[in-house]
Structure 1
Amino acid sequence: MRVFFTHLNSLIIILISFFFFITSSTSLDTLTGTQILKTNQTLLSENQTFVLGFFRGSNTNYYLGIWYNNISPQTIVWVANRDNPIDNSAGHLKIGDNGNFVLLNSSGNPAWSSNQTNAKNPVIQLLDTGNLLLKDLSDTTNNNYLWQSFEYPTDTLLPGMKVGWNLDTGTEKHLTSWKVEGEDPSSGDYTLKIDYHGLPEALLRRNQTIIYRNGPWNGERFSGIPGMKDNTNDLKYNFTYDEHGVWFSFSVTEPSLLSRIILSSDSDGQYQRYMWIQGRWNKFSYTPKDPCDYYRHCGPYGVCENDASPICTCMQGFRPKNQEAWNLRDGSDGCVRNTVLNCSTDKFLHLENMKLPETSSVFMNKSMTLDECGSLCKRNCSCTAYANIDIRNGGSGCVMWFGQLFDMNVHRPGGQDLYVRLAAADIGSSSSNKNHRAVLAIGITLSALVLVLGLVAICYLRKKRQQSSRGDQRNMDDLKLPMFNFDTLMMATNNFSQDNKLGEGGFGSVYRGRLIEGQEIAVKRLSENSGQGINEFKNEIKLIAKLQHRNLVRLLGCCIEKNEKMVVYEYMKNRGLDSILFDKSKNLLLNWERRFNIIYGIAKGLLYLHQDSRFRIIHRDLKISNILLDIEMNPKISDFGMARIFDKDQTQEKTIRVVGTYGYMSPEYIMDGNFSIKSDIYSFGVMVLEIITGKKNRGFSCDNHELNLLENVWRRWHEGTILTLIDPSMGNSYTESEILRCIHVGLLCVQECAEDRPTMSSVILMLSSEAALMPRPSNPGFFLRRNHAETSSRNQDNTESVNQVTVTLLNAR
């Protein structure tokens, strides 16, 4: 009897184990022919890097996919049945009778399957690379897979995964975006494919329309992505092509480093590279990102340069085909030659820093030198340009173009040399083609001199008011700043219509606009009657024109014409941070990862202003509404009308005109007019606490006798209940230690005594390192109470410092 119960207990244990397997997730990385994977089960790779399982889309249907393990939010890298989901939880994955594996819906019908095979002992295995394999256990040959998911990419490229062509079989692999990012994994509108014709390159399409090409591979990088080489410390790009095929892939130098490339549908089909660092996905690069990245933006023979104005230009020896459209900044018709070619006397114009023209129909020879390539192009009267294929070791290989040249960009630095055929008369009589730049520069200088003299003469004859306006414009000319004419901006903003109005401030309104060439802009139009704002207008132009940083709003130009004064900026699709942070219907967009990136980005922008730029800049009007967000929610500091330039060794300045915004101004600035980098840091600290709590700091007045934000944070910090102030719209997207560190930084920045506040370099260190030592914060400056009686009733623990201030000379904006 004892033996019977012993066997019975063993049987029960076996049955329980089997039941547990079929009803819950399993940590195994392999599925055999006798097992099934249900919608509530998963496979986990050996080192627990990737998971295979089912997830639900926004339509509540089920999809079989692969995602990173222990990464939040869930990051899916591959989807099996993206265009044929199963409609309920009764579906499952199994190995079919013929050796393939198949996904069955609730009716037992296949929704998706791998290729047909004849495996005797098939198994499914998930690797730590994210590759899902179907292999035969009876075949002991290494790497002899019957099927692998790496050969069927969806929207993500992982290390070791390839896209391209197998020319022996005629098969092609490419990326296709999701229909809706993060919601609908079905095939979207964007594809990234390798074009193997001519000199291979990758093409990004929206449906069937090419919207971007990355240029041919030059041995180090794609010609149109100069930044690729700068990012090769942590990974290596691989691009190979021969008569058997053409393939692109990448690999990581450290196996534990998580990196991926995705084709996004959220950002108009951007090709983006991410790396997992310090608990979040960091976007290291993306394309297209500038107007010049878009396909054939400047037409045949046109050259696009993002830093120029207009961005489309004709190279030497060419002129606009449609001058009227060109004047309106529409360069799509491109350029035409000034002089007809004569094969026997033609010469070649040497262009530097170029993205090579479109290469789908070119001649190429990998063994020729550049001199041999030039000689061959010279003898062939149909050859219009030539260049090296490979730029390494001084250059090698030959690529030659015939007919028109399309999609040329200037990349400084990072482009390569291109030699374009020109009539001898257009090259000039110089013995060296390289001298044409000096000749061109002299010509431009003389033309500019004549133009300036002409303007002076005109200004002398015009009315006094017009003379003043032109004088303002000449001041701007000293900055070599692109100038927009009034008609261009009027057309771009639909005659400054109310529908295009983004906002209004003390000095005027801001409008959204679109130039004819397609670039979106924001136009700040100074109010005609706002005489007080003219100096601030000039100040903003002069300052921001000299500053270049990814976390500062980019100035595109200005307009001083017809008594109008306007500033033209890059357009920020997500507008001001305040429009999202303080809007309950939108603040769900700001999870903790995005909020931290915004805080960190503002800090980097301020570090540049205070320390790394040519000048030491004090902004003086930092606030949430002056932080603009681009399409990826990257922050950019804006509105430099109140900013001041300091000498590198200058630490403080005093003013009798206190300007700024309630709740963001430091105590020493309000009371004594003293401002410094520490007054900016005070404003930064207020913003940090507002971003974390989602609440505004109300500044001086407190009619309902409640605590303002700084006082509330300070009190809760000492009570140990600070986490109750965190914006609930973030849910559980944050880690407690990280958010407490940021609150600590915010409190250090708003300390009442300016000397106690950290510098921005210290702030960056404290934000980016958990090991950084952080001092105990002292009392913030509150500016709360109207009388001492109210203050003392709330100040019994002596943890606060309250300043009683009456400010009469204050221009709030």
Structure 2
Amino acid sequence: MSDNKAGHMNDQLSKPTSIFGLKLWVVLGVCVGASFVLLLFLISLCWLASKRSKAKASHQPTIPLVSKEIQEIRVDHSRTQKHHHHETKPSRTQILAVPFSEPDPVPGIERQALLLPPPEEESPVGYQRILIEIGKGHRISYPERICRSSSGSGEGRGFDQVAMVVPEVSHLGWGHWYTLRELEASTNGFADENVIGQGGYGIVYHGVLEDNNHIAVKNLLNNRMLVYEYVNNGNLEQWLHGDVGPCSPLTWEIRMNIIRGTAKGLTYLHEGLEPKVVHRDIKSSNILVDKQWNPKVSDFGLAKLLGSESSYITTRVMGTFGYVAPEYASTGMLNERSDVYSFGILIMEIISGRNPVDYSRPPDEVNLVEWLKSMVANRNAEGVLDPKLVEKPTSRALKRALLVALRCVDPNAQKRPKMGHVIHMLEAEDAPFKEDRKVGRDRGDSGGNASDGLKENDCEHRIGAGACQ
């Protein structure tokens, strides 16, 4: 039976077909072979297409989705060539940590730069270009062939004379270049035990260079790197709101030093640079402190540049709830007065030990600004002090600090003092009292008359009037 079936199948396969008289088994074989060849052809096409798409993607640098604009600043080669003469070629991708080299008019401000490898992008003259992002506000583009170095800061000065190559190890006038090998060695190969923080953009590692300098290396998710000065004592938020026990290690003197140091840092950003830098996210968690409680202004991810020709810029509202100036939140119009408002909130937070907005408190104490104004207006300035303060400040020192804070959070942005004036008020022994009496005389109102007759040891009414303006 099986032999009959096999013979019948052979007969069917051996029958000639209408296709050139070919036998059926030949036609079937040709179809199977053609299908196999077609399948291989389609697979090869898919492979080539995927390879090309990957190659295109590798040529495009990955940039995190952030709400800030990065302006590209091209180097003036004719200018830089007048000052420098030597050439050298880098042997590997280099990474830069760039502090400004100008004499710092206001000490204590943290100066940082974004470090990145050279993207695979050709300049107009055919050289590969290296990009260095300074404070995430500028991007410098230049060929990597010729070595240049100079100093400077700001858009109008300092970026026209910059390093034109990445040396293996270079101590430039305005920065120091690090190789990837150096950073890997300093962090033990980016070991897990060196991790000191992690965020939405990458992981931060603690590193120790060969010269025993401690650094913090932020390895971004897009394979770029940031190198920071390592600050080894956490941030201000941890010391104000963390579990530090019933008695805070932050004495009144330490708190005032932190306030003054932060004010000097902001003064440098607002008045020591051109274009000025608006930080846009001043808050306690962005104030780092070292073992000597020296403050460092950090995290310039939201910073914006404001040229002298503009009184403000309009941008998407960014910041931290409770610290954002009301006029910026409502209009998107940003200038340095927005930082002044945030600084005033920071002073109140440091004095009171309270968060700017705390929904765990009674309804009339949720908003720190409104609560503090009501306390001062009711002549209860002492009641705003952080209960963890072991030694209370003098009434005069407390009222001076409160007066500065209240002026910084004035609803009218034009009436807020500049940061240089804030430093003057914080450091001058009695400047706030004299100036407030002068303001009162100029206004000629009842509040001003009350200010004229105030004694230095009894000025609750004057501060209360300032709080309610």
TM-score range, shorter chain: 0.5 to 0.7
Q: Are 1:590 and 2:231 counterparts?
A: no
Partner of 1:493: 187
- State the shift of 1:650 in Å: 2.7
Taking the TM superposition and a 5 Å limit, the aligned residue runs for 1:24-35 are none
- In 2, Cα distance between equivalents of 1:695 and 1:565: 37
- State the shift of 1:678 in Å: 0.6
Partner of 1:509: 203
Of the three residues 76, 82, 85, the one matched with 1:442 is 85
Secondary structure of 1:729's match? coil
Q: Are 1:527 and 2:168 counterparts?
A: no
Of the three residues 362, 375, 388, the one matched with 1:716 is 375
Partner of 2:414: 755
- In 2, Cα distance between equivalents of 1:460 and 1:577: 41
- In 2, Cα distance between equivalents of 1:736 and 1:460: 62
- State the shift of 1:571 in Å: 0.9
Of the three residues 293, 304, 320, the one matched with 1:644 is 304
- In 2, Cα distance between equivalents of 1:724 and 1:763: 24
Paired letter, 2:217: V
Paired letter, 1:576: N
Secondary structure of 2:305's match? strand
- In 1, Cα distance between equivalents of 2:361 and 2:119: 58
Partner of 1:628: 288
- State the shift of 1:725 in Å: 1.9
Paired letter, 2:285: S
CA contact (8 A) 1:609 1:615 kept: no
- In 2, Cα distance between equivalents of 1:459 and 1:518: 34
Structure 1 residues 737 and 512, CA, compared in 2 at 3 Å: closer, same or farther? same
- State the shift of 1:746 in Å: 0.5
Of the three residues 312, 318, 324, the one matched with 1:659 is 318
Partner of 1:670: 329
Taking the TM superposition and a 5 Å limit, the aligned residue runs for 1:281-430 are none
Per-residue Cα deviation, 1:19-45 (whole angstroms, up to 9, x for no partner): xxxxxxxxxxxxxxxxxxxxxxxxxxx
Greater strand share, structure number: 1
Partner of 2:350: 691
- In 1, Cα distance between equivalents of 2:221 and 2:92: 29
Partner of 1:482: 176
- In 1, Cα distance between equivalents of 2:263 and 2:357: 23
Secondary structure of 2:417's match? coil
- In 1, Cα distance between equivalents of 2:118 and 2:351: 58
CA contact (8 A) 1:628 1:637 kept: yes
Partner of 2:239: 580
Paired letter, 1:762: H
- State the shift of 1:756 in Å: 1.7
Paired letter, 2:335: S
- State the shift of 1:582 in Å: 1.7
Structure 1 residues 441 and 607, CA, compared in 2 at 3 Å: closer, same or farther? same
Per-residue Cα deviation, 1:697-741 (whole angstroms, up to 9, x for no partner): 117x68963522111111101011121121132222522211211
CA contact (8 A) 2:406 2:466 kept: no
Partner of 2:263: 603
Secondary structure of 1:761's match? helix
Partner of 1:741: 400
CA RMSD of aligned residues (A): 3.8
Q: Are 1:729 and 2:423 counterparts?
A: no
CA contact (8 A) 1:593 1:733 kept: no
Paired letter, 1:447: T
- State the shift of 1:608 in Å: 1.3
CA contact (8 A) 2:406 2:467 kept: no
CA contact (8 A) 2:282 2:343 kept: yes
Per-residue Cα deviation, 1:633-661 (whole angstroms, up to 9, x for no partner): 11111111211222224321111x21111
Structure 1 residues 501 and 458, CA, compared in 2 at 3 Å: closer, same or farther? closer
Secondary structure of 1:670's match? helix
CA contact (8 A) 1:678 1:754 kept: yes
Secondary structure of 1:447's match? coil
Taking the TM superposition and a 5 Å limit, the aligned residue runs for 1:777-796 are none
Structure 1 residues 712 and 500, CA, compared in 2 at 3 Å: closer, same or farther? farther
Per-residue Cα deviation, 1:397-451 (whole angstroms, up to 9, x for no partner): xxxxxxxxxxxxxxxxxxxxxxxxxxxxxxxxxxxxxxxxx9x9523xx225999
Secondary structure of 1:695's match? coil
Partner of 1:705: 363
- In 2, Cα distance between equivalents of 1:457 and 1:637: 28
Taking the TM superposition and a 5 Å limit, the aligned residue runs for 1:113-128 are none
Using the size of structure 1 for normalisation, the TM-score is: 0.33
Partner of 1:680: 339
Partner of 1:613: 273
Greater helix share, structure number: 2
CA contact (8 A) 1:681 1:760 kept: yes
Partner of 2:11: none
Paired letter, 2:393: Y
Secondary structure of 2:342's match? helix
Secondary structure of 1:509's match? strand
- In 2, Cα distance between equivalents of 1:676 and 1:607: 13
CA contact (8 A) 1:694 1:727 kept: yes
Paired letter, 1:750: V
Secondary structure of 1:731's match? coil
- State the shift of 1:515 in Å: 1.6
CA contact (8 A) 1:766 1:774 kept: no
CA contact (8 A) 1:748 1:757 kept: yes
Structure 2: runs of 5 or more not aligned: 1-80, 94-116, 134-138, 143-158, 164-174, 441-463
Per-residue Cα deviation, 1:263-302 (whole angstroms, up to 9, x for no partner): xxxxxxxxxxxxxxxxxxxxxxxxxxxxxxxxxxxxxxxx
Paired letter, 1:502: I
Paired letter, 2:88: S
CA contact (8 A) 2:312 2:334 kept: yes
Structure 1 residues 447 and 594, CA, compared in 2 at 3 Å: closer, same or farther? same
- In 1, Cα distance between equivalents of 2:188 and 2:285: 25
Paired letter, 2:363: H
CA contact (8 A) 1:685 1:749 kept: yes
Per-residue Cα deviation, 1:600-645 (whole angstroms, up to 9, x for no partner): 1111111111112343111111111111112311111111121122
Structure 1 residues 574 and 458, CA, compared in 2 at 3 Å: closer, same or farther? closer
Per-residue Cα deviation, 1:729-762 (whole angstroms, up to 9, x for no partner): 2222522211211011111101112112111122
Per-residue Cα deviation, 1:353-392 (whole angstroms, up to 9, x for no partner): xxxxxxxxxxxxxxxxxxxxxxxxxxxxxxxxxxxxxxxx
Structure 1 residues 614 and 471, CA, compared in 2 at 3 Å: closer, same or farther? closer
- In 2, Cα distance between equivalents of 1:457 and 1:717: 56
Partner of 2:25: none
CA contact (8 A) 2:317 2:332 kept: yes
Secondary structure of 1:763's match? helix
Taking the TM superposition and a 5 Å limit, the aligned residue runs for 1:81-120 are none
- State the shift of 1:470 in Å: 5.5
Aligned length: 299
Structure 1: runs of 5 or more not aligned: 1-437, 462-466, 529-563, 778-796, 802-813
Taking the TM superposition and a 5 Å limit, the aligned residue runs for 1:206-355 are none
